[in-house]
């Protein structure tokens, strides 16, 4: 019997936004993330007469199914195994809304694949496998803070745990302004962003930003962590705006949320934003301020769902 694999989403504080090899999903930069307890995917594989993929109980066809089938074929070739598989997955996170569903999805799928074929793989190999499904998934193998070192080839591009059970007081408030699937996938958006005149600067800054973020974590410096994460996210979104042709994942409410974070900070409520490939905003704060921030957002936005997240665990299996 196959077991269900569970992986939690992660949110990058130093972001992956650009590939040097699309097929292997080798990145142009290293990234660093926080795994979240509140959001996860669960995936199970069973032998079947033909490949199928169901998500949240609904049979998938089209690009989402092809992505999964292509991934399974790639993994079957890699490990010299075969057979048709039925994939059943449940997302405890909005799909394709910029809340990192692909990170938990492909970490869970890689783990389910390894379990199904009883592959003798360690977490580093599992991270490389997950990377080939979605880059951000390489980091969801681990709990706490993880770093995906860019490496130079398939062999050395994997994530490793930085601190698996952090003691730091750090919370992430996911402000769900819109849970609908985005129009431009992360895969497409990051490729398009390479046409920005600022793209080389983005790459040049990666080593220093990563070192500074690691330092902020090591010293438990929330102010440094938050301001750096906010700057890094803004840099990423400046690439979409300055791409040729330009585009943005922001919606009017995204800007409103950015401004509210600034206002709160001016009033002494320390918080910072980070935003991924979607309109939803994530707020970094400390426990004492969560309630105040949530109240302010609920007052400012008519329809808003705010989910409080802390550090989540790495991969696990359910019987």
Query: What string marks each residue from 121 to 150 as x (binds ligand DP6 by CB under 6 A) or -?
Result: -------------xxx--------------
Please report where in the chains the tokens 């329809």 appear, as a residue. 303
Are the beta carbons of 174 and 99 closer than 8 angstroms? yes
Which one of Co ion, ligand DP6, ligand ADP, none is in contact with 55 (Cβ closer than 5 to 8 A by kind)?
A: ligand ADP
Per CB under 6 A, does 2 bind ligand ADP? no
- DSSP symbols for 48-81: -SS-EEEETTEE--SHHHHHHHHHHHHHHHHHT-
Q: Give the nearest distance from C-beta 50 to ligand ADP in angstroms.
A: 17
**Count of residues that interact with ligand DP6, criterion CB under 6 A:** 15
Query: What string marks each residue from 203 to 242 as x (binds ligand ADP by CB under 6 A) or -?
Result: ----------------------------------------
Per-residue burial over 64-91, b if 16 or more Cβ lie within 10 Å, else e, is ebebbbebbeebeeeeeeeeebbbbbbb
* 301-to-198, 292, 304 alpha-carbon distances in Å: 33, 14, 6
Q: Give the nearest distance from C-beta 224 to ligand DP6 in angstroms.
A: 19
Q: Give the nearest distance from C-beta 63 to ligand ADP in angstroms.
A: 6
For residue 1, the SS3 value is: coil
Apex 141 CA angle, 18 and 109, nearest 5: 85
Pick from 102, 104, 127, 206 the residue near Co ion by CB under 5 A: 102
| Site of interaction with ligand ADP (CB under 6 A) | 41, 55, 64, 67-68, 89, 91, 95-102, 105, 109, 134, 185-186, 276-278
């Amino acid at each position: 019997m196959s077991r269900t694999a569970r992986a939690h989403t992660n949110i990058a504080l130093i972001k992956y936004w650009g590939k040097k090899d699309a097929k292997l999903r080798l990145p142009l930069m290293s990234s660093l993330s926080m795994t979240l307890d509140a959001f996860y995917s669960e995936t199970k594989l069973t032998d079947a007469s033909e490949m199928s993929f169901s998500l949240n109980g609904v049979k998938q066809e089209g690009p989402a199914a092809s992505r999964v089938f292509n991934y399974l074929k790639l993994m079957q070739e890699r490990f010299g195994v075969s057979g048709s598989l039925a994939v059943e997955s449940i997302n405890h996170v909005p799909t394709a809304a910029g809340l990192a569903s692909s990170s938990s999805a492909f970490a869970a799928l890689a783990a389910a694949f390894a379990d199904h074929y009883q592959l003798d793989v360690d977490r580093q190999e599992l991270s490389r496998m997950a990377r080939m499904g979605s880059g951000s998934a390489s980091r969801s193998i681990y709990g706490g803070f993880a770093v995906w070192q860019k490496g130079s080839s398939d062999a050395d591009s994997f994530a490793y745990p930085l601190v698996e059970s952090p003691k730091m007081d750090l919370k992430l408030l996911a402000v769900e302004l819109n849970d609908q699937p985005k129009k431009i996938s992360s895969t497409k958006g990051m490729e398009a962003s390479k046409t920005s005149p600022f793209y080389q600067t983005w790459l040049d800054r990666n080593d220093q930003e990563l070192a500074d973020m690691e330092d902020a974590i090591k010293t438990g410096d929330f102010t440094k962590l938050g301001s750096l994460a906010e700057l890094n996210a803004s840099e990423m979104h400046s690439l979409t705006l300055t791409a040729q042709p330009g585009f943005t994942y922001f919606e009017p409410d995204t800007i409103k949320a950015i401004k509210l974070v600034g206002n709160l900070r001016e009033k002494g409520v320390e918080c910072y934003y980070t935003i991924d490939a979607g309109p939803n905003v994530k707020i970094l704060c400390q426990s004492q301020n969560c309630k105040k921030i949530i109240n302010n957002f609920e007052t400012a936005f008519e329809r808003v769902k705010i989910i409080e997240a802390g550090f989540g665990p790495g991969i696990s299996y359910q019987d």
